[in-house]
Structure 1
Amino acid sequence: MVPQITIRSATMDDLPTLLEFQQGIVQAERPFDPTLKDGELQYHDIPSIIASTDSELVVAVADGSLIGCGYGQIRNAKDYLRHVQFCYVGLIFVRPEYRGKGANHLILDALKAWSRARNIFELRLEVYDDNVRAKRAYEKEGFKPHMLLMRTDLSN
């Protein structure tokens, strides 16, 4: 049975679970990034995101519990781009047992609507090139590969 999933804005009361979700993302991304430090990492300043008027952090709720999250943040674009601002999307996470049940779609739809309401029509996110599952999920939502960041390790 598909659970009833609702989306709402995050509050500071959600912080413990959001910090847990952030570590879930870190763990999922470790196999794709040999440059990550060991231990717990903080990719995002979640309290600042919740408090900012230029950001919207949403949570997905099912069965009375938080099952996922994601945020959109209005950022200034480079001077040479056609758009003045864009919405950066990050902290996208869905608990493994709820994946494939539509939560990711609902989270991204809420962030798209929030962005459109602010007259921001360019959304961008980052995903590891080798993370085929995540890339496929984002492509399903209309995202397309745009630029590939490349690196080399000179310590060898």
Structure 2
Amino acid sequence: MTAIELRPARPEDREFLHSLSPRLSGVPGPAWHDRAAMDGFQDRYMEATFAKVDPAAQTLVAWSADGKPLGYIHMRPFKDGVTDEPCGYVSLLALTEQAEGKGVAHLMMQSAESWARAQGYRFLCLDVFADNRHAVEFYERRGFQTETLRMVKPL
């Protein structure tokens, strides 16, 4: 992929952001949650994330040179689970199918790191489903490490 432009999301991008919701809910998740549960989770998470404008948060949309939206990333302030100090949090990262493997997610993560450093944060964190090996490996290649594991036993 040639030139990729990242720009802050605009109100007219809302439909595009929500259009990628099925891509997020369709990732490998826990076997005990069916697709309907994952869709519901993703819908609730998207609604909560974008329900109000947080001036400290930032959503960037990636565009191809020919004006096609490729994906987006949403970063927001968070608190470290151990020290309670402010840190950055990547709450959403989604790509169109056509953008996968083209360096778009890598570019967006570089922007997230720059955003977090500009805020003076010492950490950038995120959550990912353990069964989503593709995403886990992507983040590990970028230096992310597992800090905690939440374990679940279906009854």
Q: TM-score, normalised by structure 1?
A: 0.85
Trace 1:52-71 onto structure 2 (pairs within 5 A): 52-62=54-64, 63-71=66-74
1:47 aligned partner? 50
Trace 1:2-151 onto structure 2 (pairs within 5 A): 2-29=1-28, 31-35=29-33, 38=36, 40-41=39-40, 42=43, 43-44=45-46, 45-48=48-51, 51-62=53-64, 63-78=66-81, 80-81=82-83, 84-151=85-152
**Residue identity matched to 1:139:** E
| Structure 2 CA distance for aligned equivalents of residues 90 and 124 of structure 1 | 9
| Distance apart, 1:28 and its partner CA | 2.1
Gaps of at least 5 residues in structure 1 are: none
Is the Cα contact below 8 Å between 2:61 and 2:69 reproduced in 1? yes
RMSD: 2.0
**Residue identity matched to 1:74:** P
| Structure 2 CA distance for aligned equivalents of residues 138 and 48 of structure 1 | 27
| Distance apart, 1:35 and its partner CA | 2.9
Identity %: 23
| Structure 1 CA distance for aligned equivalents of residues 34 and 56 of structure 2 | 28
Aligned length, in residue pairs: 149
Is the Cα contact below 8 Å between 2:26 and 2:35 reproduced in 1? no
Is the Cα contact below 8 Å between 2:32 and 2:154 reproduced in 1? no
Q: TM-score, normalised by structure 2?
A: 0.85
SS at match of 1:28: coil
| Structure 2 CA distance for aligned equivalents of residues 48 and 119 of structure 1 | 26
**Residue identity matched to 2:57:** S
| Structure 1 CA distance for aligned equivalents of residues 139 and 73 of structure 2 | 13
Would you identify which runs of 4 or more consecutive aligned residues in structure 1 move more than 6 Å?
none
Gaps of at least 5 residues in structure 2 are: none
